[in-house]
Structure 1
Amino acid sequence: MDWRDDARRLGSAEFRGLSAASPVEHIDAAVDGHRLAEGGLWVLVGTFEGRLDAWRFARAEHRAPAAAPPAPHRRWDGPVASEWSTSLDEDAYVAGVRAIRQDIRAGDVYQVNLCRVLSAPLPAEAPGPDAVALSDRLSHGNPARYAARIVIPETDAMPGAWVVSASPESYLSVTGAVLSSAPIKGTVAPGGRMLDKDVAENVMITDLVRNDLSHVAQPGSIEVTELLAEHPHPGLVHLQSTVKARLDGVHDWTDQMWPDLLAGTFPPGSVSGAPKSSALRIIAREEPEPRGPYCGAIGWIDADARRAELAVGIRTFWWDATEGGTLRFGTGAGITWGSDPRGEWEETALKARRLIALASADTMSP
């Protein structure tokens, strides 16, 4: 029997360039993060609220990413498009933007990412609906640099997970002692023009990321290698910057590396705000539902190869068994003093529109 057949039964994770199967151990990385540098291949799912689950997998295979995604060959039985609901409707979201602008005016914060969670009923037996079918559909209709699929059945020994992501954003990338992060701030439709607000927001968050990485970086090694670059993605254009650094001797794959790195950078600055502590307080006030893995961290850590790739959990679906089975998806926008409340609502709709359509039954094809 091929090991991929075992994967469907025991649990698997698929990333661009990596397949893993058969989880054998689980840790709470917020408590035992030192284990992540000891050895083995770990898959991590961190919620925005701070839960950091990591599973060590028995089998893993690195490979070159496919030049083009294959056409979907499995039917995705998604929710009915009309049954999606939102944690914040347009009026509530606009009111939230206005409240945040008053926080900025009062000098409490400079920028806050305000998000809403879309949800739709999707009954399925454990461990959940066909994640392979959804990830194949997204890979074909919305290819993403950090696409991921993680399905781990819940057992007495470890918690489970069901996450399918089409994230375009790097949270942390590590190769040896080189560390990088590439925050995205600024979104327009193709052919649109970035606003001054988008540029200011990106610069602000890039500076925050520089500060976050300084907790583990060799002094003098932090550099911005890309600033305010426009990157096209399916259905939209993002403004992206890239920050790189070298790990200092205390953190170069030692047992202090991941505890300090995660403590210093999580949750990602691009999906929280600046200053981060003030932004998190305001997010808790304005958002009625937890974000879960949306805006958290999704990826892998290969301690043997001294490599890691963690994405910001945006453009992400997750499923849980509540209310007979619910599929969720998050979308948001960065709020600054220059924000237009209705315009920010439209940005959240732009980010969600293509992916919700792909995941809904109304646009499904065999």
Structure 2
Amino acid sequence: MTPPPDVTGNTGWARFAGRVATDAVECIDVLAEPERLATGTWFVVADFEAGSGTRAGGRARAWRFAQVQDAGTHDAGAPSPTAWTGPPSDAWTSSMDQAGYEAAVGRVREHVRDGDVYQANICRVLSAPLAAGPTGTEPDARALAARLAAGNPAPHAAAVHVPAASGLDPVWVVSASPELYLAVREEPGTGTVVESGPIKGTARTPDGLTEKDRAENVMITDLVRNDLQIVCRPGTVEVTGLLAVEEHPGLVHLVSRVRGTLSDDVVRSGELWRRLLAGTFPPGSVSGAPKSSALRIIGELEPVPRGPYCGAVGWVADGEASLAVGIRTFWWADHGTGGVLRFGTGAGITWGSDPTAEWHETELKAERLVALASEPR
């Protein structure tokens, strides 16, 4: 068996949807060279800000690796959950405190009252110092991924780590996402099918889900349906599941499913991913409706960029793809500040929102995962 890679060196490592990749050899700008994704296996990380209408500065990148294997061949050598050493549990700070977040909720409600938007997702970013090792060794993304897999298993868990020592554009993202952004696959007799699984509605138990949650989910499901119609054959877009209750560690979500068959001109244009991203990104569940108005409001109210949080992470391989919405996501970077670990959390705001309840929803979404990534005091 091939030994697991040393990601503290310069090889790079990624894992998503049953695939493990090692030895990063190339990084591309997806928006500049979308045609490159047509062949080979690429692991993708797209910042929320890479979407049209968002604040400037976001990137959508993809890394190609020399080795891509079934995840099972590496599991025996994976680090244990105890190998991760995170920041102290009391070291985290938020880009918005409770008063600031509740004020932002109130401002969104004013926009709803004025007819500017029906819903906008308002997020905050938690951050904690996490230094690189004494020789510049970056934190071990594999170890955090192992800890999350043990303590918070997720259907679309992902990790991509390409160290700066690789000589390529670096990335460090570990996600326990429960949400499907896009799945693309060929179905014989049908064509190239695209599917999305928007999540709106969160509570500790199914009894805690409200009519506001259900209305919010239906609204975003309709937005996703409209997004897919931009790139799909007329008449093929359908809602295949609506308001299903999914249980996850410590909480439940309302999940819907939308699918359609991609238009022939989209598939054959050589710009499939440019067209797909232009039509559907950023994901509707983490932006709002109408999307253009929601993105403008997000830019006004959120004090820091979201980065890969609420963006997309996953793989594209030879015309097929599986990409998760980058929620429940950690990312690390050292920009000369000694290294910072970040985590995003947010909530969908409508006219029916109670500001304090929305703050507590962001706390609920963060508490388990931040505790797993932290060291107790």
TM range (shorter): over 0.9
* Partner residue, 1:43: 43
3-state DSSP of counterpart to 1:80: coil
* Partner residue, 2:200: 185
Residue 149 (structure 2) pairs with residue 139 (structure 1) = yes
CA distance in 2, matches of 1:335, 1:231: 21
Residue 362 (structure 2) pairs with residue 348 (structure 1) = yes
Residue 320 (structure 2) pairs with residue 320 (structure 1) = no
Q: 1:107 aligns with which of 96, 110, 115?
A: 115
3-state DSSP of counterpart to 1:250: helix
TM-superposed deviation, 1:60: 0.7
CA distance in 2, matches of 1:239, 1:360: 28
Q: 1:175 aligns with which of 160, 174, 185?
A: 185
CA distance in 2, matches of 1:6, 1:127: 11
TM-superposed deviation, 1:5: 2.6
Q: How does 1:167-316 map to 2 (within 5 A)?
A: 167-176=177-186, 177-252=192-267, 254-303=269-318, 306-316=319-329
Matched to 1:106, the amino acid is D
CA distance in 2, matches of 1:228, 1:65: 37
* Partner residue, 1:5: 5
Residues 6 and 120 of structure 1: CA distance in aligned 2, closer, same or farther (over 3 Å): closer
Q: 1:150 aligns with which of 149, 157, 160?
A: 160
3-state DSSP of counterpart to 2:66: strand
Per-residue CA deviation, residues 281-317 of structure 1 (Å, 9 max, x unaligned), is 10011100110100000010001xx321100000000
8 Å Cα contact 2:185-2:194 kept in structure 1: yes
CA distance in 1, matches of 2:193, 2:356: 41
CA distance in 1, matches of 2:112, 2:323: 31
TM-superposed deviation, 1:133: 1.2
In structure 1, list runs of 5 or more residues that go unmatched: none
* Partner residue, 2:347: 333
8 Å Cα contact 1:229-1:240 kept in structure 2: yes
CA distance in 2, matches of 1:285, 1:188: 28
Per-residue CA deviation, residues 250-292 of structure 1 (Å, 9 max, x unaligned), is 1236512111001111110000001111111100111001101
3-state DSSP of counterpart to 1:4: coil
Matched to 1:207, the amino acid is D
Matched to 2:212, the amino acid is K
Residue 65 (structure 2) pairs with residue 57 (structure 1) = yes
Matched to 1:44, the amino acid is V
CA distance in 1, matches of 2:132, 2:268: 40
**Please, what TM-score do these two structures have when normalized by structure 2?**
0.91
Residues 73 and 350 of structure 1: CA distance in aligned 2, closer, same or farther (over 3 Å): closer
CA distance in 2, matches of 1:297, 1:211: 19
CA distance in 2, matches of 1:124, 1:92: 31
CA distance in 2, matches of 1:5, 1:194: 43
Residues 237 and 65 of structure 1: CA distance in aligned 2, closer, same or farther (over 3 Å): farther
3-state DSSP of counterpart to 1:252: helix
Residues 224 and 6 of structure 1: CA distance in aligned 2, closer, same or farther (over 3 Å): same
8 Å Cα contact 1:15-1:146 kept in structure 2: yes
Matched to 1:280, the amino acid is L
Residues 241 and 141 of structure 1: CA distance in aligned 2, closer, same or farther (over 3 Å): same
**Please, what TM-score do these two structures have when normalized by structure 1?**
0.93
3-state DSSP of counterpart to 2:48: coil
TM-superposed deviation, 1:101: 0.2
Matched to 1:195, the amino acid is T
* Partner residue, 2:20: 19
Per-residue CA deviation, residues 115-173 of structure 1 (Å, 9 max, x unaligned), is 00000011114462111111101000000011111110226853100001000000001
Per-residue CA deviation, residues 29-81 of structure 1 (Å, 9 max, x unaligned), is 111112211x10011100011010111222111457999xx993542111001
* Partner residue, 2:189: none
Moved more, 289-298 or 71-80: 71-80
CA distance in 1, matches of 2:195, 2:165: 35
Percent pairwise identity: 54
* Partner residue, 2:53: none
TM-superposed deviation, 1:2: 2.9
Moved more, 193-202 or 231-240: 193-202
Moved more, 316-325 or 293-302: 316-325
Matched to 2:94, the amino acid is T
Residues 209 and 127 of structure 1: CA distance in aligned 2, closer, same or farther (over 3 Å): farther
3-state DSSP of counterpart to 1:261: helix
Residues 22 and 129 of structure 1: CA distance in aligned 2, closer, same or farther (over 3 Å): same
Residues 251 and 157 of structure 1: CA distance in aligned 2, closer, same or farther (over 3 Å): farther
In structure 2, list runs of 5 or more residues that go unmatched: 51-58, 187-191
